Structure 1
Amino acid sequence: MLGHWAALLPLPLPASPSPIDAACLGTWALQFTPRVTLLEGSVVAEMAGSARLFGGMEQLRAQVECGAQELGARVAWAPTGSAALALVRQPDSKAAPDGFSAPLTQVLDALPLHAITAIALHADTLARVGCRTLGDVRRLPRGGLGRRFGKALLAALDQAYGLRPEAYEWITLPEQFHARLELMSRVESAPALLFGARRLLVQMAGWLAARRLGATAFTLRWCHDVMRAKEAGTGGEITVRTGQPTQNTEHLARLLTEHLAHVQLLAPVGDIELLAPEVVPIVEESRSLIPETLHKGGSTDLALERIQARLGNACVRRPVMSPDHRLEWMQSWDSTPGKRPRAPQAVPAIPLPTWVLDEPLRLMERNHRPFYQGPLQMLLGPDRIEGGWWHRSTTGPDAVPLNVQRDYWLALSPHAGVLWIFQQRLAHDQTAWFLHGHFA
């Protein structure tokens, strides 16, 4: 079946310093199309059905070629899967071989016999009858060719030229991501692990994209060389957490770089592996009518994560909403990486102030009315809040309960604007009016 097929061949040493296997390459390719198969140590994928989702075939091909180059794989394109596989096996091709650059028969006729496995099995016999290329084989009488070499050779030849449909068994995504990579040489410095780890991150990003997931944490493990001191142990690991689910390889690599800068290896490392233990469904961003250039300014969350990875968790704190009806305890500050703020569960009866005082300010009273830069006019209220007897200021015998019994009001001051005030209840001689917040 004619289409737009890609074949990806993992490069061996020394062309690729850290070769990957075809299975990992196939998992990565599933982010572009579900029609991916493993064939003779290579990956073959039909891309035509997914081109529209990536902005057209030209942009899809550019993404595939860029990712394959980073993973250490060669790419070829052709109207059939067998033709793409035949082209990708040509070692002298520097750029991505393109079966669309000329008519398919012209492209394939020039290839040597070993380009198609079914023909390569009979290469010696075919060479004795004067065949040097696939075009020579195709020009032989079909009847004699089938009787002498079997129907498998004719079928493979027809499939490559698009004369017979191809049937493949498509691979499926694993439920969990776990990839391993053997390093080209022993690594003694933790930051140097990033070269190999980046390839694993590219694979993980492909797995996440194919499953429509985002990583909130990933773990990098390393195995020490067998020639190590006994006290060094078998290896180590670090877990990196993100503030929001992401598939962005560059961002994940930057975070890993910051964490590896604080790691001291106890022995040389020979193998690394990457796991994605915490993933969540990612919310796809809808296309906007606003030009895309306005969205390329970056994210504050990404910058804060890098600062936190470099300086430590305690250096960055995020506001966290708590399900508490007391205004002082509705919001707290937390430095735990990856912890997302949550909205309060209860909706207050009256609006909450923009600015809250650290300590409520006691107001004077005139004619039994609260006074702040003029007499206050009550606009809305009261909103009664009681509770907090379970909350202690400290631990031990000197602990003071932080219980409150208040009636909150929105009040208007002639000069200070709208205020958030409350009156203490059941406080005996301390029953009074207090200013607790301002509205912008």
Structure 2
Amino acid sequence: MLVEVGASARLFGGLEQLRQRIEVEATAMGVECIAWAPTGTAALALVRAGVPDGFASPLPCILDKLPLETITAVASHQGTLQRLGCRTLGDVRKLPRGGLSRRFDKELLTRLDQAYGLRPEVYEWVQLPETFSARLEFQFRVEHAPALMFGARRLLLQMSSWLAARHMGVTSFTLRWWHDVMRAKTAGTGGELTVGTAEPTQSVDHLSRLLNEHLAKVELQAPAGDIELIAARTIPIQQESKSLLPDTIRQGEATWLVLERVQARIGKAEVVRPLLAEDHRPEWMQRWPGAEEPRPRSAPDPCQLPVPDWIFEEPLRLAERDHRPIYQGPLVMLLGPDRVEGGWWHRVGEGADAQQTNVQRDYWVAQSQHAGRLWIYQQRLANDETGWFLHGRYA
């Protein structure tokens, strides 16, 4: 792979910082050798020879010592050139140019001049595909699903680069694996795992942690030999602007990143959050949806009376004396009544077991000499009777 980085040096803080970043990320993707040179053909020749730095000395001094096979156009005539006594690129350059042009094709001199910077280079640059799909073959058999992360992380790095180049973020990706040919017939050809994210992201670390949590729950039916990573769903992502003044320092991870890892570990159904509902009945004022559900733009109107800090799961029937409720002594009404009525449309349960949840209550804030402030209500019962109930307590 040939990369032209001169135009990007300033964006990444200079050539040295850009070089360090490329070496770190390329090594993580499995690249074994990297070479730098003023021209593209020279860089290819140096990497084939295992020489990393093409700026250590004048370029002709470095290239003249390289063997013939480091440049493809020269290597195709290696047999003839060796019979002429040429062993290095420098030996080829010493031959008369007129004789070289007549005896060999134009490609040899053209590529040689391009390597030494005597002619401009023209390349057909790589065009990114519309979709991302990358495959990796293991050099060994993987018997446990978590061990697939060794190769999957390399593919995640490639996907992250593709996303960054297209200014996209992934919200769902799929990891597929193929079982080794020496497998049992019942094991099948392979399997796949799809991982979703709440927000579009390009972060390799976050995607790796999510995938690792999911793979920990997978059991391979047979050893795997190949894996493939597919970006199933992507959307445009809004990049953060770089301001002149320093932004507020962010510490720690975003909440949704942590929630996604917890969901991957214990399951989505186990991670919920409270949301206020458009309902004036206390038992249904809140609901507990999944963490991925967006918050409503506006909150429901609050109750007229202050809501207690603790609401009982089952209201407690209170004793009465002279048609007034008592709880550890007589109760003094402080605020109220607050009428709560409705719910005829709401049923709990299914089929014959469904129960109507219609309520007709008058709520009060009461004071008990020994129990403190209480939240009580009076409810209409059967046969035109009424009853008092304790529903909550204030701290």
Q: SS of the counterpart of 1:262?
A: coil
Deviations 1:23-47 (A, max 9, x none): xxxxxxxxxxxxxxxxxxxx11211
Q: SS of the counterpart of 1:285?
A: coil
Is 1:78 matched up with 2:33? no
Is 1:54 matched up with 2:12? yes
Distance 1:166 1:265 in 2: 49
Shift in CA distance, 127/146, structure 1 to aligned 2, threshold 3 Å? same
Distance 2:307 2:42 in 1: 67
Distance 1:398 1:136 in 2: 95
Identity, % of aligned positions: 56
Shift in CA distance, 322/122, structure 1 to aligned 2, threshold 3 Å? farther
Q: Which residue, out of 339, 344, 347, partners 2:296?
A: 344
Residue of structure 1 equivalent to 2:227? 272
- Measure how far apart 1:344 and its partner are: 2.1
Q: SS of the counterpart of 2:182?
A: coil
Q: Which residue, out of 38, 44, 51, partners 2:2?
A: 44
Distance 2:120 2:23 in 1: 26
Is 1:135 matched up with 2:87? no
Residues 75-114 of structure 1 aligned to structure 2 (within 5 Å): 75-90=34-49, 92-93=50-51, 97-114=52-69
- Give the letter aligned to residue 296 of structure 2: P
Residues 165-180 of structure 1 aligned to structure 2 (within 5 Å): 165-180=120-135
Deviation larger for 139-148 or 49-58: 49-58
Distance 2:277 2:234 in 1: 26
- Measure how far apart 1:130 and its partner are: 2.7
Q: Which residue, out of 164, 180, 198, partners 2:153?
A: 198
Deviations 1:35-64 (A, max 9, x none): xxxxxxxx1121122233333322222221
- Measure how far apart 1:269 and its partner are: 1.3
- Give the letter aligned to residue 68 of structure 1: A
- Measure how far apart 1:187 and its partner are: 1.7
How many residues of Structure 1 are paired with residues of Structure 2 in the alignment? 369
Residue of structure 2 equivalent to 1:215? 170
- Measure how far apart 1:400 and its partner are: 4.4
- Give the letter aligned to residue 118 of structure 1: A
CA contact (8 A) 2:145 2:219 kept: yes
- Give the letter aligned to residue 218 of structure 2: V
Is 1:118 matched up with 2:68? no
CA contact (8 A) 2:277 2:287 kept: no
- Give the letter aligned to residue 52 of structure 1: R
CA contact (8 A) 1:173 1:207 kept: yes
- Measure how far apart 1:100 and its partner are: 2.2
- Measure how far apart 1:65 and its partner are: 1.1
Distance 1:54 1:399 in 2: 65
Give the TM-score taking structure 2 as reference length: 0.75
- Measure how far apart 1:346 and its partner are: 5.3
Deviation larger for 397-406 or 56-65: 397-406
Q: SS of the counterpart of 1:158?
A: helix
Shift in CA distance, 385/342, structure 1 to aligned 2, threshold 3 Å? farther
CA contact (8 A) 1:224 1:270 kept: yes
- Measure how far apart 1:189 and its partner are: 1.7
Give the TM-score taking structure 1 as reference length: 0.69
- Measure how far apart 1:349 and its partner are: 6.9
Shift in CA distance, 55/129, structure 1 to aligned 2, threshold 3 Å? same
- Give the letter aligned to residue 303 of structure 1: V
Residues 281-296 of structure 1 aligned to structure 2 (within 5 Å): 281-287=236-242, 289-290=245-246, 294-296=249-251
Q: Which residue, out of 262, 271, 274, partners 1:317?
A: 271
Distance 1:67 1:351 in 2: 57
CA contact (8 A) 2:177 2:192 kept: yes
- Give the letter aligned to residue 48 of structure 1: G
- Give the letter aligned to residue 93 of structure 2: R
- Measure how far apart 1:117 and its partner are: 0.8
Q: SS of the counterpart of 2:200?
A: strand
Higher-Rg structure is 2
CA contact (8 A) 2:276 2:300 kept: no
Q: SS of the counterpart of 1:237?
A: strand
CA contact (8 A) 1:325 1:385 kept: no
User: RMSD of the alignment, in Å?
Assistant: 4.3
Is 1:63 matched up with 2:18? no
Residue of structure 1 equivalent to 2:116? 161
